[in-house]
Amino acid sequence: MRITQEGDYALRVVLYLCNLGMGEKIEAKHIAVHEKIPLRFLLKLLRKLVHGGIVRSFRGVGGGYSIAQEPKNITLKNVIEAIEGPIYVNRCLYDKDFCNLNRTGSCDVHRALNQVQSNLISDLDSITFEKIMKNEL
């Protein structure tokens, strides 16, 4: 039931860029130092955030990264999904072929987990970076 180290890094990077402000860009190496993230790993992670539309990148001399959306429109769910893909508590709930009992849909355990998962996802989606910045938790 954990987010990965990469997901954790990503949340901190997004918060950092949010605090920097919408139009402001900054080079990856500064983020790496500030957040203590290995530079290469950070670059890879930033690309996922760019693909996810959460971060903008600027190439060339004087390039860097900036936040792509207003903090009120970015949620924990958005960031975690950009990094780790779809959120699911149990693989059965994502890949129907996975259940080795072929009980998908009728399995009582998975029905219960599905409920937990729904709550978790909506919870993650309710926490925006604006709330995090303003400490409105």
The answer to whether 23 contacts DNA (rule: CB under 7 A) is: no
- Least distance (Å) between residue 122 CB and a second copy: 10
Name the residue with tokens 């936040």. 67
The answer to whether 87 touches 119, Cβ cutoff 8 Å, is no
- Least distance (Å) between residue 41 CB and DNA: 4
Interface with DNA: number of residues (CB under 7 A): 28
Name the residue with tokens 């950009």. 82
| Range list of β-strands (E), the chain | 55-58, 64-67
The answer to whether 69 touches 89, Cβ cutoff 8 Å, is no
Q: How far apart are CA 8 and CA 79, in angstroms?
A: 10
Which of 34, 47, 96, 134 binds DNA (CB under 7 A)? It is 47
CA distances from residue 55 to 14, 64, 68, 82 in whole angstroms, order as listed:
8, 10, 5, 11
Q: Using the minimum distance from each CB to DNA, give the nearer residue, 12 or 131.
A: 12
The answer to whether 17 touches 65, Cβ cutoff 8 Å, is yes
Q: Which does 6 bind (CB under 5 to 8 A by kind): a second copy, DNA, none?
A: DNA
Q: Using the minimum distance from each CB to a second copy, give the nearer residue, 28 or 79.
A: 79
The answer to whether 96 contacts DNA (rule: CB under 7 A) is: no
Interacting residues toward a second copy by CB under 8 A: 1-3, 5, 8, 11-12, 15, 35-36, 76, 80, 84, 87-92, 100-101, 107-109, 111-113, 115-116, 119-120, 123-124, 127, 131-133, 135, 137
